């Protein structure tokens, strides 16, 4: 059986999204900036797509800017808020230790440009509190950036409450909603969000299309320079096929949100119950305040990448926060921020489900994982030491 359980990394394009994209390649392929009819037909598609995002986020179409994806939207959001702050002499930014690298690396760049950055600690349940944000505020704070839901451990942050703290303090609030969009309700007005990023390929849209929502009073700075597209704030001929696919996928995900969540939560909870029954395993992040499709655990005495390779040999595509998969010597910064020791963080497994996953696939995962874990532990010198009491169990 083949099971794709890595939907937090990327998703399959939905049939609806694909159907919306295909005519854009050979029929409505005009340039939206052109005055002729083919161009104007493309321009109509562009404004329809913008309206879909505006409606489902409770925003105004003028507040929607299309980008090349989540990373670009995050970068532009942070740079715009920072530039606005700097103009008022405010150069302090608050964010968290478990943000996506698109946020963390932009903050590194801003730090080199003279901004002062506070990264909030992550509580053991993986949910940052509004009190933490309030306590970190300074007179020179210009921006708070807290992700809507974490991409590794799936925990959902108290976005409306953090929005309220920021609004009261007169500080801009950005949220990286890439994992939340299409999976959780988002209302930028009710949640007092000033800047928000999302990415189509995380909700069954195509890769290479993202959205930056920016409240009308937040001027965007350019990350890319060129022509007048997207009010001059995101130049470059619009990627109409990807934008149309993104809008169709978002519309579909928002319309089916409750139904999809009702399908996913029991699958998630069955995986969590089955896998935490394995000795010396632990769930990462709160069991309930997490995305409907996210499962993330640590297993003592194993290496995440060996687990992934063996799972792959059984047809299961998953992910891990171990060193090799994080592309550095250190395991996932998210698991370390959560307080997992290095050796425990190396043995992590993320299963991220989408609406396309079935109960049979979950049964198959639950069938396969315990055997692979026993096999890996039998071969592991670390597990041997743990079993002999030569080193203490950490979980
Ligand atoms: C995937 C992801 C991104 C990056 O989005 P891209 O469209 O791949 O650039 C940013 N933030 C989070 C939380 C993500 O999961």
* 253-281: pLDDT as tens digits: 999 999 999 999 999 999 999 999 999 99
Question: Taking the complete model, does pTM exceed 0.85, yes or no?
Answer: yes
Question: How many residues comprise the chain?
Answer: 395
Instruction: Report residue 323's pLDDT band, with 50, 70 and 90 as the boundaries.
Output: low
Distance of alpha carbon 39 from alpha carbon 33, whole angstroms: 6
Secondary structure class of 329 (helix, strand, coil): coil
Write down the mean pLDDT value for the chain.
Answer: 97
DSSP string covering 129-190, please?
-HHHHHHH--TTEEEEE--SB-TTT-BBP-HHHHHHHHHHHT-EEEEE-TTTTTTS---TTT
Q: For residue 106, what are the CA distances in angstroms to 45, 79, 98?
A: 32, 8, 14
Q: What's residue 330's pLDDT?
A: 82
Rounded distance from Cα 177 to ligand 1 centre (Å): 9
Please list the active-site residues: 324
Cα-Cα-Cα-Cα dihedral sign, residues 234, 76, 73, 138: negative
pLDDT tens digits for range 23-64: 999 999 999 999 999 999 999 999 999 999 999 999 999 999
Task: Report, as an integer, the average pLDDT of 224-252.
Answer: 97
Q: Is residue 325 predicted with pLDDT exceeding 70?
A: no
Query: Is 208 near ligand 1, meaning CB less than 6 Å away?
Result: no
Select from 6, 97, 100 the residue to mutate for testing ligand 1; criterion: most ligand atoms less than 8 Å from CB: 100
Percent of the chain with pLDDT over 70: 98
Rounded distance from Cα 100 to ligand 1 centre (Å): 7
Distance of alpha carbon 380 from alpha carbon 253, whole angstroms: 43
Taking CA atoms only, the protein residue closest to ligand 1 atom 3 is 70
Task: Report, as an integer, the average pLDDT of 161-169.
Answer: 98
Q: Is residue 136 predicted with pLDDT exceeding 90?
A: yes
Q: Is residue 12 predicted with pLDDT exceeding 90?
A: yes
Query: Is 179 near ligand 1, meaning CB less than 6 Å away?
Result: yes
Q: What's residue 321's pLDDT?
A: 82
Rounded distance from Cα 154 to ligand 1 centre (Å): 13
Distance of alpha carbon 341 from alpha carbon 21, whole angstroms: 45
Task: Report, as an integer, the average pLDDT of 132-145.
Answer: 98
Query: Is 70 near ligand 1, meaning CB less than 6 Å away?
Result: yes
Rounded distance from Cα 70 to ligand 1 centre (Å): 5
Ranking 163-177, 300-314, 321-335, 337-351 by mean pLDDT, the lowest is 321-335
Percent of the chain with pLDDT over 90: 97
Taking CA atoms only, the protein residue closest to ligand 1 atom 12 is 178
Q: What's residue 145's pLDDT?
A: 99
pLDDT tens digits for range 292-301: 999 999 999 9
Query: Is 254 near ligand 1, meaning CB less than 6 Å away?
Result: no
What six digits make up the tokens of 196?
A: 């928000």
Which atom of ligand 1 is found nearest the CA of 9? 1
b/e map of 285-304 (b: 16 or more CB within 10 Å)? bbeeebbbbbbbbbbbbbbb
Taking CA atoms only, the protein residue closest to ligand 1 atom 8 is 70
Task: Report, as an integer, the average pLDDT of 110-129.
Answer: 98
Q: What's residue 324's pLDDT?
A: 64
Q: For residue 286, what are the CA distances in angstroms to 125, 269, 282, 293?
A: 5, 12, 11, 13
Query: Is 210 near ligand 1, meaning CB less than 6 Å away?
Result: yes
Distance of alpha carbon 117 from alpha carbon 92, whole angstroms: 6
Distance of alpha carbon 27 from alpha carbon 25, whole angstroms: 6
- CA atoms within 13 Å, Cβ hemisphere of 192: 17
Rounded distance from Cα 72 to ligand 1 centre (Å): 9
Q: What's residue 180's pLDDT?
A: 98
Q: What's residue 208's pLDDT?
A: 98
């Amino acid at each position: 059986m083949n099971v794709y359980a890595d939907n937090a990394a990327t998703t399959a394009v939905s049939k609806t999204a694909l159907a919306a994209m295909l005519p854009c390649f050979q029929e409505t392929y005009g340039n939206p900036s052109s005055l002729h009819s083919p161009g104007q037909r493309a321009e109509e598609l562009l404004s329809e797509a913008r309206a879909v995002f505006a409606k489902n986020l409770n925003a105004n179409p003028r507040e929607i800017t299309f980008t090349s994806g989540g990373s670009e939207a995050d970068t532009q959001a942070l740079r715009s808020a920072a530039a606005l702050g700097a103009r008022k002499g405010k150069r302090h930014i608050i964010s968290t230790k478990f943000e996506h690298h698109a946020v963390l690396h932009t903050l590194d760049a801003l730090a080199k440009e003279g901004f002062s950055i506070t990264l909030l600690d992550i509580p053991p349940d993986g949910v940052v509190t509004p009190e933490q944000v309030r306590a970190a505020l300074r007179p020179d704070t210009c921006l708070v950036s807290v992700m809507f839901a974490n991409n590794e451990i799936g925990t959902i942050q108290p976005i409306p409450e953090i929005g309220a703290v920021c609004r009261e303090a007169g500080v801009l609030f950005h949220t990286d909603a890439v994992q939340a969009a299409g999976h959780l309700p988002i209302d930028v007005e009710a949640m007092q969000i000033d800047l928000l990023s999302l990415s189509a390929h995380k909700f069954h849209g195509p890769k290479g299309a993202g959205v930056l929502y920016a409240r009308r009073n937040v001027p965007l700075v350019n990350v890319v320079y060129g022509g007048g597209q997207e009010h001059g704030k995101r130049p470059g001929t619009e990627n109409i096929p990807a934008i149309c696919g993104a809008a169709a996928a978002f519309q579909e995900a928002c319309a089916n949100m409750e139904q999809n969540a009702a399908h996913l939560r029991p699958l998630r909870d069955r995986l969590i119950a089955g896998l935490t029954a394995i000795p010396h395993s632990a769930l990462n992040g709160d069991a309930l305040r997490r995305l409907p499709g996210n499962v993330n655990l640590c297993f003592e005495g194993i290496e995440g990448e060996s687990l992934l390779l063996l799972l792959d040999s059984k047809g299961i595509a998953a992910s891990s926060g171990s060193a090799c998969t994080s592309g550095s010597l250190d395991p996932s910064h998210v698991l370390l921020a959560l307080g997992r020791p290095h050796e425990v963080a190396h043995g992590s497994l993320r299963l991220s489900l989408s609406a396309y996953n079935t109960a049979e696939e979950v049964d198959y995962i639950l069938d396969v994982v315990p055997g692979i874990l026993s096999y890996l532990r039998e071969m592991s010198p670390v597990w041997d030491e743990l079993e002999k009491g030569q080193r203490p169990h950490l979980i």
